[in-house]
A and B are shown apart, each in its own frame.
Chain A
Amino acid sequence: RAREVLATPGVRKFARESGIDIGRVKGTGANGKVTREDVEKFMQGGNQVTA
Chain B
Amino acid sequence: MVVGEFTEEVDVLVVGAGPGGYVAAIRAAQLGKNVTIVDKAELGGVCLNRGCIPSKALISAAHHYEAAKEETFPGIATTASLDFAKVQEWKQTVVDKMTGGVKTLMKGNKITVMEGEVFFTGANEARVVTEYEGKKIHFQDCILATGSRPIELRALPFSKRVISSTEALSLPEVPERLVVVGGGYIGIELGQTYAKFGSKVTIVEGLDSILSVFDAQLTRLVTRNLKKYNVDIHTGALAQSVQEDENSVTLTFKVKDEEKTVTADYVLVTVGRRPNTDEIGLDAAGVKLGEKGLIEVDSQCRTSNPHIYAIGDIVPGAALAHKASYEGKVAAEAIAGKASTVDYRCIPAVVFSDPEIATVGVSEDEAKKQYGEVSVGRFPYAANGRATALNATDGYVKLIAEKESGLLVGAQVIGVEASNLIAELGLAIEMSATLEDVALTIHAHPTLGELVMEAAEVGLGSPIHIVAK
Q: A residues bordering B, Cβ < 8 Å?
A: 1, 3-4, 6-9, 12-13, 16-17, 19, 30-31, 33
Whether the Cβ atoms of B430 and A16 lie closer than 8 Å is: no
Given A6-B407, A16-B343, verify A31-B338 contact (CB < 8 Å).
no
Whether the Cβ atoms of B434 and A1 lie closer than 8 Å is: no
Say yes or no: is B339 at the interface (Cβ < 8 Å to chain A): yes
Say yes or no: is B7 at the interface (Cβ < 8 Å to chain A): no
Task: Give the interface SS of chain B, mostly helix, strand, loop or mixed.
Answer: loop
Say yes or no: is B431 at the interface (Cβ < 8 Å to chain A): yes
Partner of B339, one of A3, A16, A30, A31: A16
Given A8-B430, A9-B430, A31-B432, verify A1-B339 contact (CB < 8 Å).
no
Whether the Cβ atoms of B339 and A17 lie closer than 8 Å is: yes
Q: B residues bordering A, Cβ < 8 Å?
A: 338-341, 343-345, 370-371, 405, 407, 430-432, 434
Taking CB as reference atom, which chain B residue is nearest A9?
B430
How many Å from the CB of B222 to the closest CB on chain A?
31
Taking CB as reference atom, which chain A residue is nearest B402?
A3
Whether the Cβ atoms of A4 and B345 lie closer than 8 Å is: yes
Taking CB as reference atom, which chain B residue is nearest A19?
B339
How many Å from the CB of B118 to the closest CB on chain A?
31
Which residues of A are found within 8 Å of B430, using beta-carbon distances?
Answer: 8-9
Given A1-B370, A31-B405, A31-B407, verify A7-B432 contact (CB < 8 Å).
yes
Taking CB as reference atom, which chain B residue is nearest A34?
B432
State the CA gap A16–B337 with chains docked (Å).
12
Taking CB as reference atom, which chain A residue is nearest B430?
A9
State the CA gap A4–B432 with chains docked (Å).
10
Whether the Cβ atoms of B370 and A12 lie closer than 8 Å is: no
**Mind listing 21 A-B residue pairs with CB under 8 Å?**
A1-B370, A3-B371, A4-B345, A6-B407, A6-B432, A7-B432, A8-B430, A8-B431, A8-B432, A9-B344, A9-B430, A9-B431, A12-B343, A13-B340, A13-B343, A16-B341, A16-B343, A17-B338, A19-B339, A30-B434, A31-B432
State the CA gap A17–B339 with chains docked (Å).
5
State the CA gap A20–B453 with chains docked (Å).
35
State the CA gap A4–B343 with chains docked (Å).
11
Which residues of B are found within 8 Å of A1, using beta-carbon distances?
Answer: 370
State the CA gap A6–B408 with chains docked (Å).
11
State the CA gap A12–B343 with chains docked (Å).
8
State the CA gap A8–B370 with chains docked (Å).
21
State the CA gap A8–B431 with chains docked (Å).
4
State the CA gap A20–B341 with chains docked (Å).
13
Which residues of A are found within 8 Å of B340, using beta-carbon distances?
Answer: 13, 16
How many Å from the CB of A42 to the closest CB on chain B?
16
Which residues of A are found within 8 Å of B431, using beta-carbon distances?
Answer: 8-9
Given contacts A9-B431, A31-B407, A33-B432, 15 further A-B contacts (CB under 8 A): A3-B371, A6-B432, A8-B432, A9-B343, A9-B344, A9-B430, A12-B343, A13-B343, A16-B339, A16-B341, A16-B343, A19-B339, A30-B434, A31-B405, A31-B432
Partner of B434, one of A17, A19, A31: A31
State the CA gap A33–B340 with chains docked (Å).
21
What 8 A-B pairs come out closest when comparing CB atoms? A6-B432, A16-B339, A31-B405, A17-B339, A8-B431, A33-B432, A9-B430, A12-B343
Which residues of A are found within 8 Å of B370, using beta-carbon distances?
Answer: 1
Q: Which one of B338, B344, B432 has the greatest number of beta carbons of chain A within 10 Å?
A: B432
How many Å from the CB of A10 to the closest CB on chain B?
9
How many Å from the CB of A17 to the closest CB on chain B?
5
